[in-house]
Structure 1
């Protein structure tokens, strides 16, 4: 990305008349060095960075905050089902067994089935736009909530959960595409990454609702689990009522030849209404060039998957998309989030209220660490964060397994407490690096014409992984207990090795600039190569401000 040409000599006076050039101090900036790319974004942000607290950015943050409510849907469901599964009124109403997977497992796992089916309809985002897909999904979730909250038989309840998952996935993936494409390059990891942290906000809402309802309404038949089910429509209801008033993604607008609208969106939300800012010109140029070459997927060619594998670089992108989808669901995290009450029972916590309270604390723990980690993705970088997290999870799970084994064999209360503590530590470590990037990283590594199909492959793989976890999980917990943790210890170590050798760093690189990285001989090395450059801003002989960039020798 650095300009390799030597800067021309500059006089310290203007045309010999003695007027000073007003040179600024030299400053050294680190930028990602990729063969064939000039430091466009890095140079602009180093010398002419828009105010991130300007009016345009404040508007962007407000839009993003509303979109974040989509993320509560998945978190609400995971913790809601995990919590009401501990309620005697719920299990007795549907005659659910306390152990085994035949009934309880399918109630959980049908959510992943709905995700996988919905993945085949994400092309609507490229056809009608990102915000239309969000709207359809949010309205559908409200309808599905009515079905589940009023279901009198288990098959209807399961069918309602399928529809809820189907529409929640449409809203969720529309939101991810929208945020990744709306967020400025410099803040993409932070702004878009914050989205998935609201998974835990949904978890807190769900677990708190179930805890309060059980505490005060358990004597009123089924109100302690019916009322929390009704609350599942609050956040999607808010989103559905306002999302159609939002601006559309500039990349989608460019793809539809609505260039002036796209420029206006970029100027307002990336440059605080400064239409002449160099960032606006740069981003428009990159998008037009990229979309003219790649195009945007239509419903007619959505199921033509050649675009995902037609070059080596695209196959590498797909590999990252697929593996991260699996890692994000199969690192031990799904077992903890869905079956925390069962895990607590395995180490001696049997009181229902205590299980529900600890569920709330687990969700709060995850939200705090996920929110902190979101910012670090734009500071430390995605790849390093993933490696720190996978190794930390392996260590936490190994201690959890050891202390759980000691409790089972000796009944030690100290071991029981330590096991619970490290379950929470594991959750915090996972949330710190993975939660915010789960939908973001698989999306940002895709080109514009691959992004919707990439979202489909991400949801298919993550759904399959989640289904395996949630359906097989109770069987494994029943039959092998703490040895289930040991399996994930070794799996997380494998993830660490894989990420180290193959994962590309996307921090600080625009979506269009990633093309050169993925077409290089070794994308991982190309993405992590960093060089220092000197940048100088000065007034030239004509009185115009210029910026020069030079590699530091």
Structure 2
């Protein structure tokens, strides 16, 4: 008793059920999971984004998202104070060269890579503890840098900042991905990384304010005060994270099933224990945890399970590729060295360079926020492809106009070069920023996610280290040809994304399993799906008509 009917593309694809006579007998749990899955699209129809339960969750998510400001603050802070003679003279630094600026900047990436080895705290004692430990450590590092009388102490403080921020900024997107409502996951969790620019704006404005202050200009306080301000956001997160709900997936893995159910009821079902979304998510999560488990502290360094199947190797390929692309598309160089880049095309006034830093951060935040909302509507792949193509074009024009200024001294070429540096930043922000910690987490299974995010941090730190250490040398020696290198690299990224990246839009984290089990995951994730009606038997033996996607 089965009839097929073709429908339009559907957003949420459940695991297809089979009806042939050779199908193994399903357990009660498997039958319940199958029924829950096919009810998904209908279950979320009445859940609008402004229900009281969701609003409470948004407040918790907003607090966690402040953790993202730490990396943004550091990027703009160092780029800004490096333009202040009071800072460079105090430590005897030059504005370019590996012996000075490069190592001061790149030590942050080294700290991130070392910190990534300790993200198992989030699996061992929970996501919240990882965030708390990381934020408290960042505050300690900020105090060290703000008070250090020597360059060695300053570099050590920056290492501490990076080490602990790596722990916090790995645990934060983990909990965001795992507690966000699945139908709004990209929008809600995507906003997390857009606050990178909030940190950047805060740092840029603070440095500009102290530079323009008649009482502070040229004094140690002109760059020491911005270092103290670095305490604000991690301090707020460390105090407030106690009130944030824990990840229901982590709770289930620790046997605290009723606490996980209470979370789904309170935050995803708006307080209704009988809402279909409760049954659906609990069935999916319990099934996934029972099947896959979750990493523990004593197995976090055992990476064999990350590569033991084709499915997992493909997931890891996407994780590593995206984390490298997110730091090595030309964006990291711009965020750290914008004052130096604009100096290369004729802007030498310190105040003007600081204002340009502020404008870059503000425009980046606007476009990154737009991207966070677009990824759940347009889709990840389309956004990534458009962004990489746009970045290649922008950098090509930037290189050409910078060459024009160097060879002719044309002010028009200088202005055009600066304009396309900004357009490049906007294109990157709208396509990549929101997804940087989200997409690598989405493509991981529950037991891979914490390890995967550690590898994400290691890869991103390596890419960032190469960028920040080599950039001042490259800019000093090859100038605008540095942009040309990234033009060709971004073209490579476009091709890689087109052939290998899967679309995660419109699926729960558990539903992505069927995509990665396909012979060609990329094609499976983008293929048009067909809806049909069929009869299934529930756990009580009653027949019911359901809708499934195949």
Tell me the TM-score normalized by structure 1. Answer: 0.91
Alpha carbons 1:347, 1:416 under 8 Å: kept:
yes
Query: Equivalent residue for 1:112?
Result: 109
CA, structure 1 residues 295+181, in 2 after alignment: closer, same or farther (shift >3 Å)? Answer: same
Query: What is the CA distance between 1:289 and its match in structure 2?
Result: 1.0
Shift of 1:532: 5.0
SS class of match (2:529)? strand
Structure 2 match to 1:243: 241
Match of 1:93 in 2: 90
Aligned to 1:284, what secondary structure does the other structure show? helix
**Equivalent residue for 2:526, pick from 504, 514, 528:** 528
Counterpart CA distance in 1 for 2:282 and 2:533 is 24
Question: Which residue, out of 293, 312, 315, partners 2:313?
Answer: 315
Distance 1:235 1:5, change over 3 A: farther
Question: 2-side partners of 1:403 and 1:85: how far apart?
Answer: 25
The 3-state SS of whatever aligns with 1:507 is coil
TM alignment of 1:385-534, pairs within 5 A: 385-533=383-531
Q: How does 1:111-260 map to 2 (within 5 A)?
A: 111-216=108-213, 217-219=215-217, 221-260=219-258
Gaps of 5+ in 1: 9-25, 537-543
CA contact (8 A) 2:83 2:95 kept: no
Equivalent position SS for 2:99? coil
| CA 406–385 in structure 1, closer or farther in 2 if over 3 Å, else same | same
Change (3 A) 1:376 1:54: same
Deviations, residues 341-381 of structure 1 (Å, cap 9, x unaligned): 00000000000000000000000010000000111110111
Give the SS at the match of 2:195: helix
Work out whether residues 71 and 199 of structure 1, in 8 Å CA contact, stay in contact via their aligned partners in 2: yes
Equivalent-residue separation in structure 2 for 1:535 and 1:365 (angstroms): 48
C-alpha separation between the residues in 2 aligned to 1:532 and 1:346? 56
Q: Are 2:68 and 1:71 equivalent residues in the alignment?
A: yes
Is the 1:34–1:517 Cα contact (8 Å) retained in structure 2? no
Is the CA contact (8 Å cut-off) linking 1:27 and 1:535 kept in structure 2?
no
Structure 2 vs 1, CA of residues 547 and 49 (structure 1 numbering), >3 Å: closer, same or farther?
Answer: farther
Secondary structure of the 1:247 match is coil
Matching residue of 2:20: none
Matched, 1:83 2:111: no
Q: Which runs of 5+ in 2 are unaligned?
A: 18-33, 535-541
**1:315-362 CA distance string (max 9 Å, x none):** 000000001111000000001000000000000000000000000000
Deviation at residue 39 of structure 1 after TM alignment: 9.6
Q: Does 1:44 align with 2:40?
A: yes
For this pair of structures, how many residues does the alignment match?
A: 525
Please state how far the C-alpha of 1:549 moved relative to its aligned partner. Answer: 2.5
Q: Summarize the Cα distance change of 1:424–1:547 in structure 2 as closer, same or farther, 3 Å threshold.
A: farther
Task: State the Cα distance separating 1:296 from its structure 2 match.
Answer: 1.3
- Residues 7 and 550, structure 1, Cα contact 8 Å, conserved in 2: no
Distance in 1 between residues matched to 2:527 and 2:515, nearest whole Å: 10
Structure 2 CA distance for partners of 1:208 and 1:534, relative to 1, 3 Å = farther
User: 2 CA distance for matches of 1:142 and 1:491?
Assistant: 37
CA contact (8 A) 2:210 2:217 kept: no
What do the CA deviations read for 1:69-125 (whole angstroms, capped 9, x no partner)? 100000000000000000000000000023311121011000000100011111110
For 2:520 and 2:277, the matched residues in 1 are separated by 29
SS of residue paired to 1:110: helix
Q: Which residue of 2 aligns with 1:340?
A: 338
Structure 1 distance, partners of 2:514, 2:218, is 63
8 Å CA contact retained: 1:183, 1:191: yes
Q: Distance in 1 between matches of 2:545 and 2:196?
A: 43
Structure 1 Cα separation of the partners of residues 464 and 346 of structure 2: 27
Distance 2:547 2:437 in 1: 35
Q: Which secondary structure state, in structure 2, belongs to the residue aligned with residue 379 of structure 1?
A: helix
The answer (yes or no) to whether the contact 1:445–1:514 under 8 Å persists in 2 is: yes
Alignment partners' CA distance in 2, 1:106 and 1:193:
31
Contact 1:34 1:526 in 2 (8 A): no
Cα–Cα, structure 1 residues 550 and 289, in superposed 2: closer, same or farther, change >3 Å? Answer: closer
In structure 2, how many angstroms separate the alpha carbons of the residues matched to 1:402 and 1:299? 51
Contact 1:123 1:298 in 2 (8 A): yes
Please give the alpha-carbon distance, in whole angstroms, between the structure 1 residues aligned to 2:510 and 2:96.
50
Return the offset for 1:46. 4.1
Q: How many angstroms apart in 2 are the aligned matches of 1:29 and 1:516?
A: 17
User: How far apart, CA to CA, are the structure 1 residues paired with 2:340 and 2:85?
Assistant: 14
Counterpart-to-counterpart distance in 1, 2:517 and 2:262: 32
Residue 21 of structure 1 corresponds to none
Tell me if structure 1 keeps the 8 A contact 2:314–2:516. yes
- Note if contact 1:6-1:550 (Cα within 8 Å) is conserved in structure 2: no
Give the CA deviation at 1:295.
1.2
* Alpha-carbon separation, structure 2, partners of 1:268 and 1:106: 48
Give the secondary structure class of the aligned counterpart of 2:329: coil
In structure 2, C-alpha distance between the alignment counterparts of 1:39 and 1:499, rounded to whole Å:
34
Partners of 1:379 and 1:45 in 2: CA distance: 16
Instruction: Give the counterpart of 2:296 among 298, 316, 337.
Output: 298
Distance in 1, matches of 2:421 and 2:2, equals 54
The 8 Å contact of residues 36 and 283 in structure 2, kept in 1 or not, is answered as no
* RMSD (CA atoms): 2.2
Rounded Cα–Cα distance in structure 1 between residues aligned with 2:9 and 2:504? 18
Moved more, 328-337 or 242-251: 242-251
Distance in 1, matches of 2:38 and 2:380, equals 18
Name the SS of the counterpart of 1:509 in structure 2.
coil
Aligned to 2:25: none
Distance 2:404 2:177 in 1: 46
